[in-house]
Amino acid sequence: MGARLSDSRLYAHLWGTDELRAVFDEEARLQAWLDILAALAAAQAELGIIPAASAEAIAAAGSVDGLDLDLAAAETRRTSHSTLGLIAALRRVLPAEAAEHVYYVATVQDLTDTWTALAIRRTGQIAWRDLGAVEALLLDLAERHRDTPMAGRTHGQPGSPVTFGLKVASWADEVRRHRERLAEGAPRWRCGQLGGAVGTLAFFGDRGLELRARFCERLGLRDPVVPWLTARDRIAEFGHLLAMISATLARIGGEVYALQRPEIGELREPSTPGAVGSITMPHKRNPEGSEHLDTLARLVRAQATTLLEGMVGEHERDGRAWKAEWIALPEACLLTGAALAQARRLLEGLEVDAGRMARNLAAGGGYAASEAVLAELSPRLGKHRAQELLQDALRAGRERGETLEEALRGSGALDGAAPAAATAGCSAAIVDAAVRRGRAALATEADPWG
């Protein structure tokens, strides 16, 4: 375990998942680099650029378990070069002729950018799967609470009624758009890199483009057509989508956090056996899962900003840009993976207190029906006149401690008619439409990351 809190034996589970650490941990990354070098050698051998025997030897020796990583680390420090240490360790276990064909006229960026595309592919697969699971949970929850009334809130204050199903449908609809973004961007982000010194593949002459195509095909990546040595928009775009996904999960967590307050008490996040809310106030049940979604989203947004900065690079290569990605992108992926896993746990065990929702809606003297009263009076009095009359009447009624009906009777606004009942409007119909659309999409859409 390292010095970073996210690598701590005690706290690592808060900042990533084992599944994504299997992509970004050092040995996994080095193994992926070795696999990329083997794919490059195989493509070169197919075109007669290096002997087939060398390509076979490089593939056979390409196991991180068989390399002297202490040597690789020492050589990396001695040469001040990002990959010469790995090259030295690999060459040491190869026959002399094959050792000359390791990393044959490739660059650090050819290797690391291609690995980045593979890491994005794996992260995309996980995000696609987990977002689908989150969406399915939300659709079930929305349907279950299609007709569960609660106070709609604007500016943090109770307003007109909605249903809890409508609130959840809004969450599900946002998640659906992220799935669409993941599907649309997948082909764009999964591009290999083989450009040579300045992107021209000049060393390989007229075989350069065919070599790049075969190299990418072997790794299941797209040929980029144009090298992206300083064109970092793909990485920035993917990082910002991760930030948006995390922000959506934080919005959900924020609502649970707020509605779990005892004075509201409409939602409660699941509590695991043995969980301790406070070591000094034993009665507390803290919303640690929902608030952690906000923490994770803040950190992902910070990393996405670094990735955006990488788009401003100079000329044909600029290490300032893409080397910052080596830190920022893995962090964004790990943190987003943690957020997705946490959101799934939160939604799977979310407790909904429909009775408390109804009581909160009824509290306050029935003023939640003011929109319905305005709708009733507007055709007779005109919308603006009715609004002015109601604002004055209800303000005076509140000051006197009256109910909505008492305030309206006292003002003469209803002229003897009964006040309109509060209504959640088209909430149920909106939930029905959202659930139909979401389930149809989940049932029919092809996995773009498979």
Alpha helices in 349-426 (DSSP H): 354-362, 370-381, 383-400, 404-411
Give the tokens for residue 191: 């591009």
Catalytic choice (54, 246, 278, 427): 278
Give the tokens for residue 118: 């593979």
In contact, 333 and 242? CB cutoff 8 Å: yes
Q: In this structure, which amino acid lies at residue 201?
A: L
Q: State the Cα–Cα distance between residues 180 and 148, nearest whole angstrom.
A: 29
155 labelled catalytic: yes
Q: What Rg do the C-alpha atoms of the chain give, in angstroms?
A: 29
Rounded to the nearest 5°, which phi and psi values hold at 281?
-130, 85
Q: State the Cα–Cα distance between residues 348 and 450, nearest whole angstrom.
A: 26
315 labelled catalytic: no
* Burial track 267-300 (b if 16+ CB lie within 10 A, e otherwise): bbbeeeeeeeeeeeeeeeebbbbbbbbbbbbebb
* Burial track 168-205 (b if 16+ CB lie within 10 A, e otherwise): bbbbbbbbbebbebbbebbeebbbbbbbbeebebeebe
62, 67, 72, 75: CA torsion to nearest 10: -100
Give the tokens for residue 237: 């775009």
Catalytic choice (80, 155, 315, 384): 155
Task: Report, as residue numbers or ranges, the catalytic residues.
Answer: 155, 278
